[in-house]
Amino acid sequence: MMGWLVLAAGAVLLASGAALAYVIGAASVLTYLANDRAAFLAVMPQRIFAQIDVFALMSMPLFILTGDIMNRSGITRVLIDFSMALVGRLKGGLGHVNIMTSVFFAGISGSAVADAAALSNTLVPAMREKGYTSVYAGAVTAASSIIGPIIPPSIILIVYGALMQTSIAALFIAGVIPGLLLALALFLVNAFFAYRDDHPGGRGEAVPPLWASFRKAAPALTLPVIIVGGIVLGVVTPTEAATVAVVTATLVGHLYGGIDRVVLWDAFQHTAKLTGAIFVILGAVASLGYIAGLLQWPQLLGEIVNEAELSPLQYLFVMNVVFLIAGMIMDIPVALSLLVPILAPVALAQGANPVHLGIVLSFNLSIGLLTPPLGGCLIVVSTVTGVNYWRLARAILPFAAAEVVVLIVLVLVPELSLFLPRLAGLSVE
C-alpha cells in the first residue's frame, strides 16, 4: 500500500510541474519512510557526494563549455560550406548537407539540442529558399541532430561511464562507427524522399570550392582530432582532452572573429547552469539508488528475469523497450541515471559488454529526443522554425524508424561498437 502511495505522490508532483530532480528526491525520501528505513537518511550527504565525486565527471562541464564556445563563434556557417562542397551536388543536396553538418557538429559539441538549435537557424531557412517544405527541412534537422550524443565527445557517454565505472575513452571511440552508421541510414532516407518528391539538387548545383572551404573549416575540424586522437593514443585523459579542447575552441573562435568577453561570459554562465542541473539530478538519483540497493531491487529484477527464462538477448531487447519509453517522457540524464543502476547490472551478469551496453542505451535514449510528448529536439526545431510540433512529429517518423532499425542492428552486432576500441587497444571488458 505504501509503495502505491509513493507512486501516487510522485505522479502528483509531476503533474504540478515540479522539476524531475525534486520529484525523484522526494520519491526516494518517501520510499525510505514507507519501508521503515528512515535511519539511513543520515548517510544521504555522503552518498550524494560519492555519486558526483567521480573523476570522469570532471570532463563533462569542460566538454559542455567547448561546445558552447564553438556554437557561439560562427562555426556553423563554415561547417555548412564544407558540407555543401562535399555533398551539395547530390539530389536532395541540402538535406544531405544538413546530415553531414550534424556529423561535424557531433565531433565538437556532443549535444543534440545545440545542433538542432544551430541548424534550425541556418539550414532550415536555406532549405526553404531552395523549395523544400518547412516541415521536411525541420524533420531532417531534428533527425540528424541526435548524431551529436553518439559521435565523441558525448555528455551522455560520460554520465554512463561515471555511473558504471566504464572507460570513457573506450566509450568515446566505440561511438564512432554507430554514429557514422546512423548518418548513413539518414542519408538513405533523405535520398529516397529526394527522388520520390523531386527535391532540389543535382550536378548543376552551385557549391563552394572544396579546397577553399576545407581550409576555412580545418581549424574547427581539428577539435575532434584533438579530443579523440589524444585519448586513443594515450597522450591525454578525457579530462585533459576536454581542457585542451576548451583552449583550442577559444582560439578557433577568435580566429573566426566570433569570440569576445560577452560571448565567453555567456558560455560560462550556460555551462554552469547546465552542469548544475545535471549534478542535482545525479544527487537525487544517488538517494534513490541507495534505497534501491537496500531493498535489493536489482536482485529482485534478476530473479524475475530468471523466472521468465529470458535469454541475454531477450533481456537486452526488453531493456531497450523500457529505455525507448523512458526517453519519450524523461530528460536523457534523468533516464540514464535512474534506470541504468537498476537494469544494467542484470544485463552485465548475463554477460553483456559494458561498453556495448553503454552505446546501445545512449543511442536508444537519443531517439527519445525525436518522440512526443517531450522530444527535446522536436521542441527546439518547432520553436525556432515555427513549424507545428505535431506536423513535425509526423514528418520525422520515417527518420525515427530508420534510427530504430540502426538500434536493432547495434544490439544484434556488438562488434560494430567494440571493433574500434579493441583496435585501439582499449579495455572493453
Dump pLDDT digits (tens) for 217-262: 888 788 777 777 777 777 777 788 888 888 888 888 888 777 888 8
pLDDT for residue 181: 96
C-beta atoms surrounding 120 within 10 Å = 24
SS3 312: helix
Give the per-residue pLDDT at 428: 63
Q: What is the DSSP string of 203-255?
A: TT-----HHHHHHHHHHHHHHHIIIIIHHHTTSS-HHHHHHHHHHHHHHHHHH
- At 109 the pLDDT is 63
What is the C-alpha separation between 317 and 408, in angstroms, rounded? 9
Which three cell numbers mark 169? 575513452
pLDDT at 102: 85
Q: What is the mean pLDDT of residues 81-85?
A: 85
Percent of the chain exceeding pLDDT 90 equals: 17
Identify whether the C-beta of residue 420 lies closer than 8 Å to the C-beta of residue 333. Answer: no
CB-side neighbour CA atoms (13 Å) of 156:
33
Angle, vertex CA 282, rays to CA 279 and CA 287, nearest 5: 130
CA dist 155 and 274 (Å) reads 11
CA 193 to chain centre: 26
The C-alpha R_g of the chain, in whole angstroms, comes to 22
Is pLDDT of 395 > 90?
A: yes
Across residues 97-110, what is the average pLDDT? 79
Question: Measured between alpha carbons, how far is residue 133 from residues 125, 139, 254, 391, 392 in Å?
Answer: 10, 10, 36, 12, 11
* pLDDT for 270: 83
Residue 86: predicted pLDDT: 86
C-alpha 29/C-alpha 130 separation (Å) is 56
